[in-house]
Chains A and B, each alone.
Chain A
Amino acid sequence: MTEEIINILKDQFNGRVSIKEKRPGIWQLFLPFYHEDGDMIELYIQWENGRWKISDFAMALMRLSYQYDIDTENKERIFQKIVSENGLIEDNGNIFVYAGNDNLYPTILQYVQGIGKVTSMRYFKREIIENLFFEQLDEFIMSRLQEYRPLKKIVPILDRNDLEVDFQLTPNGYPVFLFGVKDVPKARLAAICCLEYQRTLDKFRSYIVHEDFNNIPKNDIRRLTSACDKQFVSLDDFMENAVKALERER
């Protein structure tokens, strides 16, 4: 059996493969596919019910768990979507796929691609996703709110460059100043800006879009609520309700 599979794989991989029996009936394949840290992607193959079973014996999820756990329904949903959309199957952490002699090569490539996507879920770490907040906000405003003539990085009070607002929208004759807030320093700066605008400018509205309203301490929320006209508790909330809110400003 070993010789048979070696010959099949050597032929299909043009000689760039080695294989070692890991346990009776389970062979580890050594192919030039690597994780970002240089470790080889773990691939095992066994003959099962007249076909080849290619699996990782849960090594991909073990590796992912060093810094990222699939510990919420949403993460599990994304994980299962990656697995199924790449034509793979998962059972108690083991990710596998079946192949015949004739399609081992393409199936292994498909398998490795799927494993790579699973281990890339580490890029979904909160601190990385958070960094996308402003990009996503920017993209939404500049693509979906064009009707309200969006401008970026506006200084509403002359000579006060320290009181810059992220966006200005103009649904009617007066501006709507919009701040994206994802942390406490930005929440405080937005509150200070809004208060100063009130002291200096005649007519305007101020909007806050929170990355996560619940992440801002109570006292800061109180200050913001007092200083600004409207808050959106999340980017999703803003994306869903921005147009309605801006239409009411007309």
Chain B
Amino acid sequence: MIFSEKLIHKLLNCPKEIVQAPGKPRIEKGHYRIGFELQSVDKEYYFNAFGRYNSTFPENFSVGLIYFPKNEKGSYEILRCNGLHGEHKLFPHHLSFHIHKITIEAIENHLKEDSNIEFTDQYVTFDDALRFFVKYINLNHDDIQKYFPGKDLQLNLFDD
């Protein structure tokens, strides 16, 4: 798979729609989880999205996007919004909410594709992160309204 800045931008920002709805959230082996499948509206690109948060430390969460190329096997983790789980190698001694994003540099240097991070103050809870995520990846408005309407997903998850 050959990535370019243009392709990465397109993968992250192309309008998307849900093709497999997020199932009922469930707890499994110490974490809560949801997942859903997406495609670009032009049906060129396919993705999985996942949401996880730790059952003991709910501030340790991740919401991510995985790209599945159409004509080859394999997958790439192209975006992940993380909570306050710990430090990062690039910024030791610094705890922050952060976003992992695929970069050409990481791929060219044979690193894990999403090893680059940037700090963010766009969210502080799993709910915030999920809402930030679906807007960031340009999920269509109807799907956002349909699948992520409430404000207290994390509380609802606990209720389940």
Contacts and interface: CB of A to CB of B under 8 A. Distances in A.
A42 B117 CA distance: 17
B-side interface mostly: loop
A165 interface: no
B29 A58 contact: yes
Contacts of B87: 30, 40
Task: Tell which of B64, B66, B115 has the most Cβ of chain A within 10 Å.
Answer: B115
Interface in B74-122: 74-75, 77, 80, 82, 85-90, 92-93, 100, 111-112, 114-117
B73 interface: yes
Contacts of B52: 62, 65-66
Interface in A1-56: 18, 22-23, 28, 30, 32, 34, 36-42
B30 A92 contact: yes
Interface stretch (B5-13, B37-45, B53-61, B132-140): B53-61
B31 A58 contact: yes
B148 interface: no
A93 B66 contact: no
A215 interface: no
Interface residues of A, number: 31
B146 to A, nearest CB: 24
29 contacts: A22-B57, A28-B86, A30-B86, A30-B87, A30-B93, A36-B115, A37-B80, A37-B100, A37-B115, A38-B89, A38-B90, A38-B115, A38-B116, A39-B89, A40-B87, A41-B86, A57-B60, A58-B31, A59-B85, A62-B30, A63-B62, A66-B52, A67-B77, A92-B29, A92-B30, A93-B30, A125-B75, A127-B74, A130-B73
Interface of B: 28-31, 33, 50, 52, 54-57, 60, 62, 64, 66, 73-75, 77, 80, 82, 85-90, 92-93, 100, 111-112, 114-117
